[in-house]
Structure 1
Amino acid sequence: MSDPKAYYSHYDQVTGKGKKLEQHLREVAEAARDSVPPSLDFDGIDCWQVKTLLQWQARFHDLGKYTDFFQKYLLEGQYSSFQNHAHISALALYGYLKERTAALGIDRKTSEVLCFLFYVMVRRHHGSLTTEGLFRREDLPRMKRECNAQANSLLERKEVLSDAVHLSEKETEQLLLDLPNLLENKKFTRSMRRIRMNYAHERWYFFMIYCFSQLVDKDKSSAADLRRRNRSALRSELVSGYIDLKSKGQHSNMNQKREQVRQTVLHRIDNLSDREIRNIRIFTLTAPTGIGKTLTSMQAAFRLSERLESIYAYNPKIITAIPFINIIEQTKKDYAEVLKDEGLLNIHHRLADKRLGKDRSGKQEIPIEKAMLEVESWEGDVILTTFVQFFQSLFTGNNARLIKINKLAGSIVILDEVQSIPEKYMPLVGAALMKLSQYFGTRFILMSATQPYLLEMGQKLLEQCASESANGAVNGLDVKSLSLLPDYADYYRFQARTKLVPSFRQVLDTDTFIDFFEQTWAGRSAVVVVNTIQRCIDIYSMMKDRLGGEAFVCHLSTNLVPKERKRVINEVKAALESGETVILVSTQTIEAGVDLDFEVGYRDLAPLESIVQTAGRVNRNGNLKRADGETEACPVYIVHLEKDHQWIYQLHHMDCTKRLLQQYGEIAEPDYLQIIDTYYRQMANCLSQESIDIWEEGIMKLDFSKVQQFQLIPEDQQAVDVFVELDDDAEKLADAYEMIRSSAAGINHELLEEVTGEKVSPESLSPFRRKALIRLILGRMGEYMVQVRYQRLQKTRPLSFSERGGVESSFYWVPLDQLSDFYDIETGYGGTEEARIW
């Protein structure tokens, strides 16, 4: 039952429960203020000023909810053309800020920009962040009518508003009276054009996504009544204890090198002065594959966190981003074993469970919609996520993605396998990391076996764009970086596990490749990495026919559903550990981070970093020895399979790789570093037009439609998702999805609990909880999804999911009883048409 004397920000007409508006505004303001790290600084707008600005933004963001129009809509369901609250709130904040930024010590030009940007952020806080279409001529009459009606409604309760925004009644009255005039003021309505012409600068993009993220995050958390979790101090000794336990009784040369690397990295951090800890924002960790970078980087982050806590008196969040979902499970296992009950681990990717781990009290049970909000807003002490989640949330205006971006501020971010970033985006990403470290105070640890010229390309992009802009000012290009393993070249010189063997005498087809393989294989466990699904299946099928009696032949590609890809990896790992001869034919799914160890490798022509990653799956632990006891240099043959690479990689990168490799008969592992350096130096000579356009037009001029052209993994517009009902678990997921989607269907609570792990009573199934459960179930159905191009659907067209039970959905469906018509347990979906790896 609502209080007739109260104003509400949120209210459930079914349960009669709501949140009072004054409380909501206070909660958002306090949460935003308390979460600003001391290292935040936007070229002179310091953390104290940002804290104050965020509190003002929070106090005003829902001011329009005080109108009669909104309260009647919220409490009684009475619709009105004036019920929307965001725009009047944004106008009020703009008017408020114009009179107060000078008192914060902010100069006039800076004030002019940030006041308008806060107007945009509050106006857009229930949708996507965009600066387009703010004052269309055809919309202005409606906007003026709305503003007048809402301002008059607010004037009737100026006493209540005065308390909410900490103004006198007279000041509140004048502020409201001035609002309609803003829409008549051409200087105001043309502000965005003036900002782009006179004040274009990247700091405004990073300022805007930070402040918008803070508002969206704290607004949704307050609306959901999420309690704030206490942050844990993460001790670096946790990692040492886990490593000691994991390596107990194992005394190998490789383990000794891993320990040497780890100690070097930790001493490097320990020996930095407090001033250096403040100033150095980017760290690199370059080392050969298999040297233990995952746990070393984790301990380095914990040690760095301890140093930062002693200086700034706050505990940084640790965020680790990994390029591919398929390699996240092993990292998740290590992280969970290290943390145990010492900190909250948040696993966030599209297939992950939607709950944080238990806190020290062991309490976990909160409603699923709240649990999902915690995961997606990156609550927790340690976040483990993917490159897609990280970078697509950085280059976007999407509300749901931006919610987490404020958590980057003051955090320590580990980017694993940074060479996996597409080369066309390396300048863009390099520049963004530099600016995040400068403005957000984020510390980065960039890890790779083949450290690309990411920062060099980023700096080159910043310099070029600054020289072409009206401002011409380049700030923050002196972002300091430090190598955590300065003698990394020595570890390559000591390694002799593999050698690259370029074999380009002829361009091969499937038949001639199999002939080449048989000539060089010698009965060893082998990994074959090719560029397309089509080629992968063709080679697998032919190898199984010809060599199936001599080896365990497996196929791995995205033509298999994710659950089956995990099965294949586990089966291959078990077979290798038991000493069985294995031949794995794979797409680049296998390249980065998958802990498998073969005796010989074959790689179709690809960028050099991809070739080196394949080599990292061969003699990974250096266990294969020659007769004299020295480590065997196992071959990785580089071949050219017809035109497959053109489906995946840019032609000039292939030409560069091939020219470099053709200069050598063999390349020993100690020489990898030199050839990699030559390769990246050539790549860094020219900046990609994609990076230039997104930075100049999107970042500097706040054109979010241009920013969103960034696609880490290109979206195949000609592909659809197909749900493969592979087993009983898949059938139950589909049943639960239909049940929860269908308003007519009754709820089988036992099935819902079995599928989701959530106890849901009939009275608790609110629209918000139903929506959250749908997303949870869809995430688990993702384990049975495969992407199929339309071209292939014409030959093997499955059913629409709606034919299963009448529930409309965007994906197709392979029924359990028709599995053999559409899906092969070994090769995956349908036919074997030409298909890109994506």
Structure 2
Amino acid sequence: MYKPAAPRSLISSPPGEAAATGPNPGRCAVAHYRELDQRWHELRSHLRGTGILTRRFARKIGLQNLGELMGLLHDLGKYSSAFQNYLLSAVNYLDPDADEYVDARSKKGHIDHSSAGAQVAWRTLAPRRGVSQLVGQWVALCVASHHSGLIDCITPDGHDRFTERIEKPESSTHVAEAEQRADPDVMDRIRRLLDSPCLLEEVTQLIDRIRQRARTQKLTGTPFSHMQLGLAIRFTFSCLIAGDRIDTVHFTNPTGIRFRQGGRYHYWNELIDRLEAHLVSMPTRHAIDVRRHEISDACRNAARRPTGIYTLSVPTGGGKTLASLRFALHHAAHHRLDRIIYIIPYTSIIDQNAQVVRKVMETATPPGNARRIVLEHHSNLGAEQQTYADKLLCDDWDAPIVYTTMVQFLEALFGSGTRGVRRMHQLANSVLVFDEIQTVPLRCLHVFNQALNFLVQEGNSSAVLCTATQPLLHRVSAEKGALMLAPDAELMPDADALFKAMKRVEVHDERKGGGWSDAELADLAIKALQEEGSCLVIVNTKKAARRLYQLASSQIDTDDVFHLSTDMCAAHRKAVLKKVIDRLKTPRRRVLCISTQLIEAGVDVDFRVVIRFLAGLDSIAQAAGRCNRHGGPRPGHVYVVNPENENLDMLPDIAKGREQAQLILDRYKRDPASYDDNILGRRTMQEYYEHYFFQRKEEMSYSLSKEKFYGATLLELLSTQDTARQNYSRQQKAQPPYPLLHAHMSAARAFKAIDTLTEAVIVPYSEKGKALIEDLHGQFDAADSGPSDLDTTRELLQRAQQFTVNVHPTTLNQLMSKRAVSVLGSSGIYCLDEAFYDRNLGLSNDLVNRMETMTW
């Protein structure tokens, strides 16, 4: 593992600050123009500033010289007269009658300024062969890709994309002219780095560490080494993108410098003191409070362990939000780590968890210079909730404690383009806390495991996998990618005893032949409500949720019945959930909530009875966590039922989990003692995952279209590239002429964190949603027009994320046939007619508000 030096601030010598020159750029090459005060960003300063930042970021994995070299080379092509004339013409600096003047609008995006630096690195280092060739290709690949996202070396069909790019003619890349016109000190530093033995040594050491780990883990000949090297390439690419964008923004908007923190968080101990004071002040009224203190103390006691991958196996309601934070703060302080990043599966959980932590961490007088301590980055944050500083910090996750989603985390590691990848380097030298780790997409398991191993082993990070249902990620195929847990991985001293001590519910297996009818299920829920005061029904499909809600509403007071599903936009779900939580806390207020599985992982609700449609055992356990959550004196009751005629064809994860759960429930009936008399205990869950993973082991490498990818998986595209190598050899009758073969761009474009074919529809929920749709339509004057104000439209669309429902293409076609949706100009963005949005159920295929039809 590479141990980075103590982090240094980005603010100590701000990149871009010395880059502002006078209004006459004739004396030097320029990179950017600041319209605010008609000042220019010297290209020399931009290259040096980017080099400094990229060096600093890449130092985290010991590749500081490689990073600086990429920073200095990335915009070398801007020294060409073609680019300089384009930039000067674009801001009307050149006289339109001058010989150098060009039509900037027609030239935009057509002047290649990234290939020159790539060619310098490749042509200098490749002829030296060995590690030099690998380093030359590495640098060239990142520099050439810094506007597009990492390109393929060899495409899945065997096409040599790297050679095609690196051998572009001088007339396109202007490399000779750029080298000749470059500032002497810039070229001198580039040549010194290219000739430096340190450049090759740091890459050689990285490769040796990866190979040694492969030998130790007996993974030689597997995708491991190729994948780890590919992740290192993407990591340095992240460093380059972040360095380039930060240096540019510091010039174009220098006021933003004061918001950046750059990893310089001097106040871990002060934050620790705040948390410890809060924990001391928490009352101990019930037995469960004693257990929560024990869990928290165990996390504190484990914080001095070495960096590594740890598990925190705690029953739901065990207080793992603050317990994991306690470990993370003490661990970060002890190992001098940069930040703590919480990765959460659902935005609904982020809202509640971040709020809890913010109340403890952010007081009226924040430490340092009053910068943000807890930063949220997820799609549910509307534009009105984010300040400019928040948006700036979200670009780089630049705060001590960051809350983000699994989707954003996976996009940073595997997504396309340059926006997400720039955050990847911030995942190093950090504590990564995964809440509800069992929700990681199954098809991503091997690439997820490989990436987490890299961040811990090369990036000096620690990971904590929090859940009541540990999914045994270290037990999947080691050859393709299993987690390499720390030797003493579990943070709880006796997790089995803890689960027995915190048992708060009785689970009733109420499956029956033929299944339960809707009427029977409604009767069961209403009876539970009448006897216990609160009941939660968790179903598998949106259709089932609608039917049961309508049945229950026809029999009892509608004020007592609530519906939750993804047919409702995020703002709608959030509002309903708040009502549910408030009523649960109010004595003698009855609550019957009928929800899809969106409520079962991590949402802090406490029902007396839970009825769960049969699904995976992990889902049943998570549902049980919403029952008697805070350990009342009487046990709660969880009923597992099998509905009749349930169609799960579109939900294969639930269907396959249900199949394995059935088998274990049947075995438990025959011999409960073999499962410690606990159907939701750790032994039962371990057996469930062993069978579930074995059944689905072929899906974990992220399968891709056979027609397009020739049978290769995403794991293969990012590692060995066996299929692409064979295709290349068959076509060229030779082996590829360079060492790195990864298909970065093909993999990134194929990758989707959420595997669903849906279209987003903006819905008119509440007066805010209706006004938002009106404002959006106002931006598109004609049927085929674009927006009249791009910045305003961007802000409106960001706000619209809270008022969006994702629908299947079949549903969208049905809505279109009924003229229930309108399209915003030529954007392809859909808005729903108010007549098709039900105030209780959300988006509907049928007319629900006949008098409120809207015409655009």
Common topology (TM > 0.5): yes
On the 8 A contact 2:223/2:716 being kept in 1, the answer is no
Q: Given residue 120 of structure 2, which amino acid in structure 1 is its aligned partner? A: A
Distance 1:19 1:34 in 2: 21
Structure 2 gaps, min length 5: 1-22, 91-101, 195-220, 251-255, 702-712, 722-741, 848-856
On the 8 A contact 2:525/2:537 being kept in 1, the answer is no
Where does 1:435-454 land on structure 2 (aligned, <5 Å)? 435-454=454-473
Pick the aligned partner of 2:111 from 66, 79, 83. Answer: 83
Match of 1:259? 293
On the 8 A contact 2:339/2:431 being kept in 1, the answer is yes
On the 8 A contact 2:69/2:190 being kept in 1, the answer is no
TM-score of the superposed pair, with normalisation by structure 1? 0.79
* Farther off after superposition, 551-560 or 686-695: 686-695
Distance 1:676 1:168 in 2: 56
Match of 1:614? 623
Pick the aligned partner of 1:376 from 395, 398, 401. Answer: 395
Where does 1:662-701 land on structure 2 (aligned, <5 Å)? 662-665=666-669, 672-685=681-694, 688-692=697-701, 693-701=713-721
Change (3 A) 1:782 1:396: closer
On the 8 A contact 1:284/1:481 being kept in 2, the answer is no
Match of 1:238? 274
Match of 2:239? 214
Pick the aligned partner of 1:661 from 665, 674, 688. Answer: 665
User: Deviation of residue 88 (structure 1)?
Assistant: 1.3
User: Deviation of residue 148 (structure 1)?
Assistant: 7.2
Q: Secondary structure at the match of 2:27?
A: coil
Match of 1:285? 312
Distance 1:149 1:674 in 2: 62
Pick the aligned partner of 2:580 from 572, 582, 586. Answer: 572
Distance 1:55 1:791 in 2: 51
User: Deviation of residue 394 (structure 1)?
Assistant: 1.2
User: Deviation of residue 202 (structure 1)?
Assistant: 1.4
Q: Secondary structure at the match of 1:647?
A: coil
Pick the aligned partner of 1:812 from 818, 825, 830. Answer: 830
Q: Alpha-carbon deviations, 1:209-266, whole Å to 9, x = none?
A: 1011111111111111152425223232222223344x34x52211111011111221
Change (3 A) 1:150 1:605: same
Distance 2:525 2:662 in 1: 20
Q: Given residue 498 of structure 1, which amino acid in structure 2 is its aligned partner? A: V
User: Is it true that 1:94 corresponds to 2:122 in the alignment?
Assistant: yes
Pick the aligned partner of 1:153 from 177, 180, 200. Answer: 177
* Farther off after superposition, 785-794 or 377-386: 785-794
Q: Given residue 460 of structure 2, which amino acid in structure 1 is its aligned partner? A: G
Match of 1:164? 186
Distance 1:654 1:440 in 2: 38
Distance 1:51 1:346 in 2: 28
Q: Secondary structure at the match of 1:619?
A: coil
Where does 1:286-301 land on structure 2 (aligned, <5 Å)? 286-301=313-328
Pick the aligned partner of 1:127 from 128, 136, 148. Answer: 148
Q: Secondary structure at the match of 2:302?
A: helix
Pick the aligned partner of 2:839 from 825, 829, 832. Answer: 825
Q: Alpha-carbon deviations, 1:556-599, whole Å to 9, x = none?
A: 01111111101111111111111312110000110111111011
Q: Alpha-carbon deviations, 1:188-220, whole Å to 9, x = none?
A: xxxxxxxx9999711221111101111111111
Q: Given residue 149 of structure 2, which amino acid in structure 1 is its aligned partner? A: S
Change (3 A) 1:773 1:457: farther
Q: Secondary structure at the match of 2:503?
A: coil
Match of 1:184? none
Change (3 A) 1:147 1:116: farther
Distance 1:138 1:481 in 2: 44
Q: Given residue 621 of structure 1, which amino acid in structure 2 is its aligned partner? A: H
User: Deviation of residue 653 (structure 1)?
Assistant: 3.1
Pick the aligned partner of 1:32 from 33, 48, 54. Answer: 54
Match of 1:65? 78
Match of 1:585? 594
Change (3 A) 1:29 1:674: same
Distance 1:199 1:494 in 2: 41
Distance 1:138 1:268 in 2: 47
Q: Given residue 825 of structure 1, which amino acid in structure 2 is its aligned partner? A: R
* Farther off after superposition, 606-615 or 342-351: 342-351
Match of 2:760? 721
On the 8 A contact 1:523/1:581 being kept in 2, the answer is no
Q: Given residue 517 of structure 2, which amino acid in structure 1 is its aligned partner? A: D
On the 8 A contact 1:602/1:636 being kept in 2, the answer is yes
Q: Secondary structure at the match of 2:667?
A: coil
On the 8 A contact 2:151/2:743 being kept in 1, the answer is yes
User: Deviation of residue 743 (structure 1)?
Assistant: 12
User: Deviation of residue 296 (structure 1)?
Assistant: 0.5
On the 8 A contact 2:516/2:642 being kept in 1, the answer is yes
User: Deviation of residue 683 (structure 1)?
Assistant: 3.0
User: Is it true that 1:351 corresponds to 2:380 in the alignment?
Assistant: yes
Q: How many residues align?
A: 719
Change (3 A) 1:558 1:477: closer
User: Is it true that 1:712 corresponds to 2:753 in the alignment?
Assistant: yes
On the 8 A contact 1:801/1:808 being kept in 2, the answer is no
Distance 2:222 2:184 in 1: 37
Match of 2:352? 330
User: Is it true that 1:636 corresponds to 2:639 in the alignment?
Assistant: yes
Distance 2:162 2:70 in 1: 28
Match of 2:607? 598
Distance 2:625 2:550 in 1: 25
Distance 1:199 1:282 in 2: 17
Q: Alpha-carbon deviations, 1:544-565, whole Å to 9, x = none?
A: 112337x711100111111110
Distance 1:138 1:371 in 2: 38
User: Deviation of residue 4 (structure 1)?
Assistant: 1.1
Match of 1:109? 130
On the 8 A contact 1:453/1:684 being kept in 2, the answer is no
Distance 1:438 1:168 in 2: 30
Change (3 A) 1:37 1:254: farther
Q: Alpha-carbon deviations, 1:696-752, whole Å to 9, x = none?
A: 333343223245544332131xx32222223332344345545667899xxxxxxxx
On the 8 A contact 2:58/2:239 being kept in 1, the answer is no
Match of 1:755? none
Q: Secondary structure at the match of 1:35?
A: helix
User: Deviation of residue 674 (structure 1)?
Assistant: 1.8
Structure 1 gaps, min length 5: 41-46, 103-107, 173-195, 310-314, 358-363, 464-475, 626-630, 745-764, 834-838
Q: Secondary structure at the match of 2:420?
A: helix
* Farther off after superposition, 526-535 or 780-789: 780-789
User: Deviation of residue 632 (structure 1)?
Assistant: 1.9
Change (3 A) 1:523 1:533: same
Where does 1:467-482 land on structure 2 (aligned, <5 Å)? 480=487, 482=489
On the 8 A contact 2:346/2:405 being kept in 1, the answer is yes
Pick the aligned partner of 2:494 from 465, 487, 495. Answer: 487
Q: Given residue 561 of structure 1, which amino acid in structure 2 is its aligned partner? A: C
Change (3 A) 1:605 1:91: same
Change (3 A) 1:823 1:84: same
User: Deviation of residue 327 (structure 1)?
Assistant: 1.4
Q: Alpha-carbon deviations, 1:330-378, whole Å to 9, x = none?
A: 1111121122124532211112256998xxxxxx7xxx4x753431321
Q: Given residue 109 of structure 1, which amino acid in structure 2 is its aligned partner? A: G
Q: Secondary structure at the match of 2:31?
A: strand
Q: Secondary structure at the match of 1:212?
A: helix
Q: Secondary structure at the match of 1:661?
A: helix
Distance 1:689 1:237 in 2: 48
User: Deviation of residue 795 (structure 1)?
Assistant: 4.0
Distance 2:652 2:643 in 1: 13
Distance 2:809 2:694 in 1: 38
Distance 2:660 2:571 in 1: 37
Distance 1:76 1:14 in 2: 17
Match of 2:421? 402
CA RMSD in angstroms comes to 3.5
On the 8 A contact 1:562/1:783 being kept in 2, the answer is yes
Q: Alpha-carbon deviations, 1:67-115, whole Å to 9, x = none?
A: 000011111132569721011121112234458xx9xxxxx63332232
